[in-house]
Amino acid sequence: MPITSITKDTDALTMTVVADFPVPVQRLWDAHADPRQLERFWGPAEWPATFTRHDFHAGGRSHYWMTGPDGTRAAGCWEYLAMDPGRSFEVTDGFADEFGTPDPEMPVMRLRLVFEETPQGSRLTSKTWFNSAADYQQLLEMGMEEGLTSAMGQMDAVLQDLTSYAAGSGVHTQVLTDTKVRISRVIRGTPAQVRQAHRDPDLLRRWLLGPDGWRMSDCQVATKVGDRYRFAWEKEEDGSDGFALYGELLELDEPYREVTTESMEGVPGEPNVNEQTLTPIEGGTLLTLIVTYPSVEVRDMVLGTGMTDGMETSYARLEEVLRASARA
């Protein structure tokens, strides 16, 4: 068990948990930055978490729920108040509905996590501030201390997994709900570089091509909220089998997050909604794309096309483009 101490201060309305791990600080930090890893230990073992949003930067938000043994869901949300990359972050932590909207009837806490180097590896100090004695008592009665203890106890196995989520492991696809899919990959480059490669038409034409043998015939980029984009492709050899995707830029928080709609020309129906986040981690930038489809049928149809194989080819090509740019 990595926990070395739990201190409850009823006068200051705080609870502090200290845990030590035999890994470098960066490894411990990355486990919190990557939602695929975070949901393997956040919450009690019997209530695994699913993160449907994880904007890991100051001003960002995270949405998640934990699923109990009987299928019951308990949802929560974080709002990032401050972040010192690699050292600490602070959030408001509260209950929410399935869409991440805070529940005004439930307590809200302030949580600060501090990451420090030790002779044996790293130390994580989690300090929670409660707004009132009533909130303090209610949350302890709901099992908050036991939940934190269980969460910390699951971290060792995640931290020792050095390959599943590292740079070079390729595209990782996870079905979150009937309509939500998370696609993730570590790109060797900084968030600013990866973001620029998504907004520069000349760069996009070099990497956003899917399987070999295709070219972009149109590349209209949306650069501000409300702009519309259009990307079209055709076969290099004869210009046949052309198709196009188009949509609108709904949200933008440079360089970390953008939200767009996406439709295919000539295909009727509601658009997909794509939420892309870029998070700096060891080895590069974690690109996370959460796609919300209009139905489970559309989800299965799109995934069945081999879309993620084409994305892996494009992302590998993107890394080549970034390496070439760095050498130039």
Per-residue pLDDT tens digits for 212-237: 999 999 999 999 999 999 999 999 99
Which residue, 54, 56, 57, is CA-closest to 76? 54
The mean of the pLDDT values for the chain is 93
Which pLDDT value is given to residue 143? 83
Residues of the chain with CATH 3.30.530.20: 3-160, 172-327
pLDDT at 163 over 80: no
Q: Does residue 45 or residue 88 have the better pLDDT? A: 88
Query: Is the domain covering 172-327 a CATH 3.40.50.720 domain?
Result: no
Task: Evaluate the omega torsion of the peptide bond into residue 255 and state whether it is cis, within 30 degrees of 0.
Answer: yes
The CATH code for residues 3-160 is 3.30.530.20
Which pLDDT value is given to residue 160? 87
| C-beta of residue 151 within 8 angstroms of C-beta of residue 41 | yes
Q: Lowest-pLDDT range, 53-62, 165-174, 180-189?
A: 165-174
Which residue, 123, 162, 181, 156, is CA-closest to 301? 181
As a whole number of angstroms, the distance between CA 123 and CA 131 comes to 26
Instruction: Tell me the whole-structure pTM to 2 decimals.
Output: 0.92
Q: Does residue 276 or residue 145 have the better pLDDT? A: 276
Instruction: Note the pLDDT tens digit of each residue in 72-131.
Output: 999 999 999 999 999 999 999 999 998 889 998 899 999 999 999 999 999 999 999 999
pLDDT at 162 over 90: no
Confidence of residue 211 (pLDDT cuts 50, 70, 90): confident
| C-beta of residue 115 within 8 angstroms of C-beta of residue 25 | yes
| C-beta of residue 184 within 8 angstroms of C-beta of residue 190 | no
Which residue, 186, 224, 222, is CA-closest to 201? 222
Which pLDDT value is given to residue 111? 96
Residue 12, both tokens: 């200051």
Which residues share a beta bridge with 224? none
Taking the CA atoms of the chain, what radius of gyration do you get in angstroms? 21
Which pLDDT value is given to residue 168? 77
